[in-house]
Structure 1
Amino acid sequence: MEHKMENYIILPKTADQTLLAKYYSLADVFTICSKRENFPTTCVEAQCCGTPVVGFDTGGTKETSIESQDDFVRYGDIDALAEKTMCKLCGNSKDIAEKAQKEYSKETMSKRYMETYDRGGRKKRVLLIDVNCKGSSTGKIVYDLYTNLRADGRSAAICYGRGKNIEEENIYKFGLDWETNIHAGLSRITGYNGYFSYFSTRRLIDYIEQFKPDLIHIHELHAYFVNIKPLIEYIKSRNIPVVWTFHCEYMYTGKCGHAYECRNYQNKCGNCPAVKDYPKSLWLDKTRQMLEMKKNLLGDWNFTIITPSQWLADRVKTSFLKDKKINVIHNGIDTRVFHPVDANELRKELKISEDCKVVLAVAPNIMSESKGGKWILQLAEKMKIENVFFVLVGKL
């Protein structure tokens, strides 16, 4: 326990999913106040544990709701959010866990992806590419797909760029940590991202040559671990079918994962208002050149785009990729972990009284501007007179 004050507590972030399931099960309502989310996994996990969700209507957040998209309010409207929160605390969210687990299980997600893969014939050998494996939200998705593909009698492989070495069949870390560090440094100096990591990219291409996939499923390529242009040119030269899940906006903007209100990507980029945000440049703005590279690389290529939300699909349709095949497949989670569990001991440990309602918020860096911890504290202040206790998980 790090910080307790009146009607809220801020706790450290945790990678322990069993503990997270207890936090979700402890709560009567889950709230999310992010500035922008494409399809937040935390909302899905909370509902699979039987906890209804309220929050700000940003990005694809409201699409996660099993109950009603009307439970999400205009960004920054704390009065409206307090009203929605009280309605949920006084309401009855019956069967929410059962409905959420059916819609958001990793098995459901995998089945929908395999249906997409198999258009034009069953794909027996599938290669998944991502920045991570097992770690992070996309890394978990990639590993779940790998597991379910193998359970379906197919040969699956994962190539990933960053994180711990994983010793499992057909899982290969091609990224070289020293080269990733150089890539990050060069990005800051030159303003270019995704233009370096020569040796790591060569290792990835060599693995593709060896594995000979019937289909490649790409996820994230933006974390300083791969040279995008030669990788895509190689895949195009081999005519390998590609499904590409856009978990963010990076591949149709100059460099931004979240473009927010900026619409420069619809034209030329340049004069980037977020040039010093991740992926960071210290001085030079090369967003126009990077967007041009992506247009030349992807514009005439026949591949399928998947997004986790309709909101993100609609954003893709405002970009130079608007004429591509674009489908929506919701992210899935491990419902063997995220389901209603007994949280009585956790309630006692946190010294929350039996008659007190609990509002929960979870994010990796919850007090950052992007994750909106300040709004949750304002909500707690507004609801001081109610018998409600706020638990925030995610302090660094």
Structure 2
Amino acid sequence: MNILQINVCLDKGGAAKVALDLHNNLQKIGVNSQFAYGWGVKGGKSDSESNVKNCFRIGSKLQVITNFVFHNFFGFDLFSPFGVRRSKLLEAIKMADVVHLHVIHSYFIKFSWILDAIASANKPVVWTSHDYWILTGRCSSVGDCNKWQSGCGNCPNLSSYPATFLDFSATEFKRKRMYLSKISSNLVLVSPSSFLANELKKELPNVDVCHIPNWLDKNFEDACRNNILANELIKLPFGSVNVLVVSNNLDDTSKVNKELIISLLDLKGVFLHTIGKNSPFSGKNVFNHGEITDRIEMVKVISSCDVSLFTSKIDTFGLVMIESLACGVPVLAVKSKAAEEVLLGLNIKPVDSYADIIELIRSRTLPTEYINKTRESLQVSIFERFGHSAATENYVKIYKRLISANKLS
């Protein structure tokens, strides 16, 4: 079985973590998997490329930078791979039994070109919808906007990622649906969350849709298992309390509530730990750890904290929540689709408001769902529900089903 994974990044962001872990897991069980990615540092090679087997870069710096500039004006990518990179990608598609798409927006490939190439090669497609981009005319995170349900146009959120100056969302909406129809008979869409899966089924009734939750990557899970947790009840210390915030971009207000965090920093004994780039927070009680790729180091930093915050308004899953819980660290999150997707399945209720989070930390208390639980029990519940091996098995079942159907057609 030959599988080709395609994602914008090799190791940055939640989608990349999932895609790369799946790629590595497939190779360990004897499946031939290749990983094609768009770009890494400053549009060039990823720092991790030399450590990953069977991976190659699709984008060149010139292609990525040009697409970035063009996309910021017009809202879509203009250029696809060229030269040797183009030939290598087309050959990989030709050799694949299944092409597995992940995130294909963000400046590295013209989506109509890649879907045409796959359709021409008559290859089955698994497409993991890590966000709403498949359903919209332009953006990847819809927030409170519902215009995508009627074909977009007059986009009210042109700054929403990936941002644009001019609005061609209505045209792009039609183009996406047209190209999706070209591969729909040979396509399985996978959603990490049940609410997004329901939207996909509603909007694309002729497409096979499955729900496979995101999971802990193997290296992170192994690091957690090797990190011995104290078998004591979870509680917030009455003295200093270490609060964790994790985001790829800490300056993104759609994911990180700055006002909440500033209010918490004004409380006595609160220390903030951040993981991610572009932290807007500073001070004697702030520890910005920056981007952390080493999973052992990440587990160490998370485990050193007393509580983790999740304030994203746009995530479709919230991988950072299960990473914190896997380290035995309780999560405080206000109600959102992503928070409810993860926490309610663990019988933990999101809180009602940001004011509630402030009061809980001020009074050094936690929601009742954490009472009489230990860090170890939190970790066990995450391993059972979001361990890496079950997800890989589910994807392999989908691959086999598509390959079998393609041979019969």
TM-score bracket, normalised by the shorter chain, equals 0.5 to 0.7
Conserved 8 A contact 1:244-1:305: yes
Q: CA RMSD in A?
A: 2.9
- Runs of 4+ off more than 4 Å: 352-355, 387-390
Is 1:288 the counterpart of 2:170? The answer is yes
Partner residue in 2 for 1:195: 78
State the distance in 2 between where 1:171 and 1:161 align: 11
Conserved 8 A contact 1:161-1:226: yes
Post-superposition shift, 1:258? Answer: 0.8
Partner residue in 2 for 1:330: 213
Structure 2 SS opposite 1:364: strand
Partner residue in 1 for 2:335: none
Is 1:214 the counterpart of 2:97? The answer is yes
User: Structure 1 residues 176 and 378 mapped into 2: Cα distance closer, same or farther (>3 Å)?
Assistant: closer
Tell me the number of residue pairs that the alignment of Structure 1 and Structure 2 aligns: 260
Post-superposition shift, 1:343? Answer: 9.7
Partner residue in 2 for 1:276: 159
TM normalised by structure 1 equals 0.59
Structure 1 SS opposite 2:248: coil
Partner residue in 2 for 1:158: 35
Structure 2 SS opposite 1:251: helix
Post-superposition shift, 1:259? Answer: 0.9
Conserved 8 A contact 1:367-1:373: no
Conserved 8 A contact 1:134-1:140: yes
Is 1:310 the counterpart of 2:194? The answer is yes
Instruction: Name which of 108, 124, 140 aligns with 1:241.
Output: 124
Higher helix fraction (1 or 2): 2
Alignment deviations for residues 151-200 of structure 1 (CA, whole Å, 9 cap, x no partner): 111211111111125235421112111111011112223x1413323527
State the distance in 2 between where 1:241 and 1:160 align: 19
Instruction: Name which of 54, 74, 87 aligns with 1:170.
Output: 54
Partner residue in 1 for 2:13: 136
Alignment deviations for residues 281-313 of structure 1 (CA, whole Å, 9 cap, x no partner): 22x210011101001111352210111111221
Structure 1 SS opposite 2:222: coil
Conserved 8 A contact 1:266-1:318: no
Structure 1 SS opposite 2:35: strand
Structure 1 SS opposite 2:105: coil
State the distance in 2 between where 1:354 and 1:130 align: 45
TM normalised by structure 2 equals 0.57
Structure 2 SS opposite 1:363: strand
Match for 1:297: what amino acid?
Y
Unaligned runs of 5+ in 2: 231-235, 281-409
State the distance in 2 between where 1:381 and 1:149 align: 44
Structure 2 SS opposite 1:158: strand
State the distance in 1 between where 2:259 and 2:212 align: 30
Post-superposition shift, 1:332? Answer: 1.8
Structure 1 SS opposite 2:209: strand
Conserved 8 A contact 1:255-1:290: yes
Match for 1:137: what amino acid?
G
Match for 1:149: what amino acid?
L
Instruction: State the percentage of identical aligned residues.
Output: 26
User: Structure 1 residues 372 and 238 mapped into 2: Cα distance closer, same or farther (>3 Å)?
Assistant: same
State the distance in 1 between where 2:225 and 2:257 align: 25
Post-superposition shift, 1:270? Answer: 0.7
Is 1:223 the counterpart of 2:100? The answer is no
Instruction: Name which of 357, 376, 379 aligns with 2:260.
Output: 376
Alignment deviations for residues 177-230 of structure 1 (CA, whole Å, 9 cap, x no partner): 1111011112223x14133235277345423256x1111111001111001112
Partner residue in 1 for 2:367: none
Instruction: Name which of 60, 66, 69 aligns with 1:185.
Output: 69
Conserved 8 A contact 1:252-1:265: yes
Conserved 8 A contact 2:3-2:33: yes
For structure 1, which segment, 163-172 or 236-245, has the greater mean C-alpha deviation from structure 2 after superposition?
163-172
State the distance in 2 between where 1:357 and 1:265 align: 42
Alignment deviations for residues 58-88 of structure 1 (CA, whole Å, 9 cap, x no partner): xxxxxxxxxxxxxxxxxxxxxxxxxxxxxxx
User: Structure 1 residues 267 and 214 mapped into 2: Cα distance closer, same or farther (>3 Å)?
Assistant: same
Unaligned runs of 5+ in 1: 1-123, 345-351
Match for 1:258: what amino acid?
S
User: Structure 1 residues 392 and 188 mapped into 2: Cα distance closer, same or farther (>3 Å)?
Assistant: closer
State the distance in 2 between where 1:139 and 1:203 align: 23
State the distance in 2 between where 1:318 and 1:143 align: 29
Post-superposition shift, 1:392? Answer: 4.3
User: Structure 1 residues 317 and 195 mapped into 2: Cα distance closer, same or farther (>3 Å)?
Assistant: farther
Conserved 8 A contact 2:59-2:81: no
Partner residue in 2 for 1:91: none
State the distance in 1 between where 2:241 and 2:169 align: 47
User: Structure 1 residues 157 and 272 mapped into 2: Cα distance closer, same or farther (>3 Å)?
Assistant: same
State the distance in 1 between where 2:259 and 2:229 align: 26
Conserved 8 A contact 2:141-2:160: no
Instruction: Name which of 23, 29, 47 aligns with 1:146.
Output: 23
Post-superposition shift, 1:336? Answer: 1.3
State the distance in 1 between where 2:13 and 2:152 align: 29
Match for 1:263: what amino acid?
N
Alignment deviations for residues 336-384 of structure 1 (CA, whole Å, 9 cap, x no partner): 124584799xxxxxxx9884443322223334311233243266279x4
Relative contact order: is structure 1 or structure 2 higher (C-alpha 8 Å, sep ≥ 6)? 1
